[in-house]
Amino acid sequence: MQSLGVEVLFKGKNFARLMGGMWTALKISLVSIAISMVLGLLLGMLVSRKNRVLRGVMRCYLEFIHIMPQMVLLFLVFFGTSKAFGWNLSGELSSVIVFSLWGTAEMSDLVRGAVTSVPKIQYESAMALGMTPAQVNRYVILPQAVRRLIPQSINLITRMIKTTSLVLMVGVVEILKVAQQIIEANRKASPNAAFGVYLTVFLLYFLLCWPVSLLAKHLEKRWG
């Protein structure tokens, strides 16, 4: 049997480097996810009000993020801002900015969908009980909306984690780049390393995303 090439991972500091790359990817996604969830929730609530100007602006923002591939956004923020304004953003910071912009846009759209899907009678009943609009949101609408949000926002979170594989294009050495470096440095000694190393990367991504899916299932059961 041919070797799978996993042995290159145990040479020198290779395994620690791969874990370091995973931590970099995780850090970028965790920070961006936290920002996206908070901002997305706020913006989503705002948009579900019937303010036409606000809706128009948000619509533009959303469409812009939707039609732009994440790679283009990364280049725009990393290289574009230093060309246009002379800002020297690091690769990590650019990635967090792009992922937060993207996550916030999608999250606010999900929140808007969830909030508007709460039947109108819920608002009317709550108002009839003498609640203020803030109380209606806090105690009646949000708890119902959040429940509807879980499946799609979990989907968004796992997509954000997986898309961090693009940030190698702005010089961030994350898990996939470390994997490519290891394969390349050992191509002569272990020509099969590509299989073993990519298999390991697959398992690591799985380990990152699987707990998120489990949490989602758990929450859906508890709140469902």
Partner 1 sequence: MKKATIKVTAILVLLVLALASLASAGAEGGKVYRTLDEIKESGKINIGVFSDKNPFGYVDENGEYQGYDVYFARRIGKDLGVEVNFVSTEAANRVEYLETGKVDIILANFTVTAERAEKVDFALPYMNVALGVVSPKSRVIRDLSEIGAEDQVIVISGTTAEDYLIKNNPEIQLQKYDTYANAKTALENGSAVAWANDNTEVIAFALENEGYEVGIPSLGSQDTIAPAVSKGNETLLAWINEEIIALAEEKFFHADYEATLVDTYGLDYEESLVLEGGGQAK
Residues lying near partner 1 in the complex (CB under 8 A) are found at 8, 11-14, 17, 56, 59-60, 63-64, 67, 75, 78-80, 82-86, 88, 168-171, 173, 177, 180-188, 191, 194
| DSSP structure string for 164-176 | GGGGGGGT---HH
Give whichever of 16 and 215 is closer to partner 1, judged by the CB atom.
16
| Least distance from partner 1 to the Cβ atom of residue 163, Å | 15
Give whichever of 158 and 186 is closer to partner 1, judged by the CB atom.
186
Contacts of 213 (CB under 8 A, 6+ apart): 154, 158
Residue of 176, 41, 24 whose CA lies nearest to 113: 41
CA distance 110 to 36: 12
Give whichever of 112 and 177 is closer to partner 1, judged by the CB atom.
177
Q: At what angle do helices 142-163 and 14-47 cross, to 10 degrees?
A: 140
Give whichever of 7 and 212 is closer to partner 1, judged by the CB atom.
7
| Least distance from partner 1 to the Cβ atom of residue 120, Å | 23
| Least distance from partner 1 to the Cβ atom of residue 103, Å | 20
| Least distance from partner 1 to the Cβ atom of residue 168, Å | 7
| Least distance from partner 1 to the Cβ atom of residue 221, Å | 39
Give whichever of 13 and 50 is closer to partner 1, judged by the CB atom.
13
The single residue listed with the structure tokens 């490519």 is 180
Contacts of 193 (CB under 8 A, 6+ apart): 5, 8, 182, 183, 186, 187
The single residue listed with the structure tokens 């996939």 is 176
CA distance 90 to 99: 14
| Least distance from partner 1 to the Cβ atom of residue 190, Å | 11
CA distance 164 to 170: 11
Give whichever of 135 and 180 is closer to partner 1, judged by the CB atom.
180
